[in-house]
Amino acid sequence: MAFLTHALPAVDDYVEFFSHQQLPVLRHTVREFEAMREEIDSVSGKRVASVVLGDPLMTMKLLSHLEQHRRSSQNHDITTIDRAIIMMGITPFFETFSELTTVEETLSDYPKALIGVLKVIGRARKAARHARDWAVIRHDLNVDEITVAALLRQATDIVCWIFAPTLTQQVYALQESDRTMRSSDAQRKIFGVSAREIQLALVQAWEMPELLVLLLDESRSDHPRVRTITLAANFTRHLAHGWEDDALPDDIADICALLHIAPDALLRRLNAPESAFSRLLPPDA
């Protein structure tokens, strides 16, 4: 396992470096898989998919594996985890992913980075839940695709925490010292490029399904599906600072516009505390 300790010249160099590393998964994922192997004859695809979807890293590994080992007879991308498990089969799945390293082992000498990456993974899960809920409201034809894309929206942040822990801590330190600094600006100061620039190149290099690549492309923010994913990520990141975060009023307004829902109805759906209603609702609401 190699760790990146200095900035690289260009996006392609980061892609090259990250592509030569073995992605670890959460320790919880490994334990769940071990338990399921003990009763493999009765394990359902839904149960396996549920564990995979709880771990953005395992989700990346699975989708990337399927694309890299695509059958000649397969004429469409696999963009959801349920379909991925069906495509592989339960026994071949466990045979393929039998020896997995864990995030906790990888970052055992970097406790602050471990805390950092677990927080990002936690936000990714919440963003995926919000995006799924909003996709349902929008009557999206495939909410599972939105769920997966939202889960992977923070993929580069997660990868950077794991393989460049010291540099990533510097990015977060910059933002702590200046709360007005945008994430992309802090990333460029330390890495020379932004996480978004790395991400689009990385998901293509890792042969992720084309649809997911498109859904993760912020330049297509006029598309409702992309906007759903982007707003879920932004809202979750801002809410991590509490309901008093200055960016939340704009988030709420943008989400309401996307969903064609009243602000008070959205706040109730988000289980917002009473104190948030007076602050986030427009005066005439």
pLDDT 10s digits, 126-151: 999 999 999 999 999 899 999 999 99
Q: Supply the CATH number for residue 57's domain.
A: 1.10.3210.10
| Partners of 25 in beta bridges | 102
Q: Which two tokens stand for residue 113?
A: 């980075």
pLDDT at 208: 80
Q: Does 94 map to a domain?
A: yes
For 56-83, the pLDDT digits (tens) are 999 999 988 888 776 655 556 677 899 8
Which is more confidently placed, 253 or 199? 253
Q: What is the mean pLDDT of residues 198-209?
A: 84
Query: Residue 130's domain spans which residues?
Result: 1-218
The string of pLDDT tens digits covering residues 5-44 is 999 999 999 999 998 899 999 999 999 999 999 999 999 9
DSSP 109: T
| Cα 52 from Cα 34, distance rounded (Å) | 13
Q: In this model, does residue 285 exceed pLDDT 60? A: no
Looking at the 3D structure of the chain, how many domains does it have? Answer: 1
Q: Quote the CA–CA distance of 191 and 168 in Å, as a whole number.
A: 9
Higher pLDDT pick, 194 / 220: 194
Q: Is 146 in contact with 225 (CB distance < 8 Å)?
A: yes
Q: Is residue 264 part of a domain?
A: no
pLDDT of residue 4: 93
What's the pLDDT score for residue 210?
79
Per cent of the chain over pLDDT 70 is 95
Please check whether residue 259 is in contact with residue 137, taking contact to mean a CB–CB distance below 8 angstroms: yes
In a domain, 92, yes or no: yes
217, 226 in Cβ contact below 8 A?
yes
Q: CA distances (Å), 73 to each of 11, 76, 88, 204, in order?
A: 34, 9, 14, 22
Residue 281 has pLDDT above 90, yes or no: no
pTM of the full structure: 0.91
CB atoms inside a 10 Å sphere around CB 105: 11
Residue with tokens 């927080």: 119
Within a domain: residue 260? Answer: no
Write down the pLDDT at residue 74.
Answer: 56
Mean pLDDT of the residues in the chain = 91
Task: Tally Cβ neighbours within 10 Å of residue 264.
Answer: 15
**Token pair belonging to 266:** 């959205």
CA dist., res. 34 & res. 120, Å (int): 25
Reported as a single tens digit per residue, the pLDDT across 242-277 is 999 999 999 999 999 999 999 999 999 999 999 888
Is residue 210 in some structural domain? yes
What gap in Å lies between CA 243 and CA 233, rounded to an integer? 15
Mean pLDDT is lowest, of 80-94, 95-109, 154-168, 211-225, for 211-225
Q: Is residue 175 part of a domain?
A: yes
| 131 assigned to some structural domain | yes
What is the model's pLDDT at position 124?
A: 96
**Residue 103 domain-assigned?**
yes
